[in-house]
Amino acid sequence: MEIDNQTNVMYFILLGLSDNPKAGTALFALFLAIYSVGVVSNIAIMVTVTADPQLHTPMYFFFGNLSLVDICLTTVTVPQLLINIISDRKVISFQRCITQLYFFVAMVGTDCLLLGVMAYDRYVAICSPLRYFMVMDKKACSQLVARSWAIGLLNSLLHSLMITRVSFCASNLVQNLLWDIPPLQKLSCSDTSLNELLILAEAFPIIMASILSKVISYGFIITTILSINLSEGRRKAFHTCSSHLIVVSLFYGTILFTYIRPPSSYSLEKDKVVTVMYAIITPMLNPFIYSLTNEKIKGALSKMVDRCSIHLKL
């Protein structure tokens, strides 16, 4: 729907993936299944980490917090996506759009920072094992998580406020699956150069600093692993870090593609796929990636399932 050039847009229409009703039914079932599996698996990780005393260590504390962020991230995006798929009226007010944008960007930012914290945790555990529990004590872990949340929320507030200052008067059709900064900026009929500069000046350093911390941390980690004489020690250290490297690669690859690039390279179809990857698929995969390579989590999950089975039989 095109809007008169003199009229400011008060609502948006989220077009989603497809207008085909048959495809819509299949997509609804697919995204509902992904969302359900992701939420249940992340809740299972959180409950397991909380309930099992053996998992009351910094690494699993961060893992549990990452699961919480992943639940929040998918809950911000997927329910609205499901409503849009089955609804004939795919309209949302500007206020609701900004609210959802705020929480979405906040969760992405917090996720980004938590992954950096987890990389630092692995660095201390492998490179300075004797000082590990002194450096990563309960207070330090809580502060690292709290700062990740605070920076993520404040960063999102800044970008959301910047979106409210631009005008939307040419079109209200959002060619995306959810409310994100690039597609909204593309709809603006006013100058968005300041917004784009803010992303490069503020969001870019956060993302790059987080990536750089991981590169440096894993540079030291790999050097330390290679210096371990026992093959069993090497294998254990590698398994400890491999899951985190997979998650980081999936998440940051898609984030960099979405935010750190020129506006002229914006591609509708590619961006829809990338959005699905980092906003829906990756949060669902995270608990499986971590649990499949971690014997303690697999053992704790197995014990929890056994206890639940016994209670159900009683």
- Residue-level pLDDT, tens digit, the chain, 314 residues: 444 444 466 777 777 666 666 777 888 898 899 999 999 999 989 998 998 888 899 989 999 999 999 999 999 988 888 888 887 777 778 788 888 889 988 998 898 889 888 888 888 888 888 888 888 999 999 999 999 999 989 988 888 888 887 777 767 777 677 777 777 777 777 776 777 777 666 666 666 777 777 777 777 777 777 776 666 666 666 666 777 677 777 777 776 666 665 555 556 666 777 778 878 888 888 888 877 677 788 888 888 777 777 766 65
Q: Is 220:201 a contact under the CB 8 Å cutoff?
A: no
- Kindly list the strands in the beta sheet with 91-93, ordered across the sheet, starting from the edge strand earlier in the chain: 91-93, 11-14, 173-174
CA atoms within 13 A on the CB side of 91: 7
Whether the predicted model's global pTM rises above the 0.85 cut: no
173 vs 306: CA distance, rounded Å: 50
63 vs 68: CA distance, rounded Å: 9
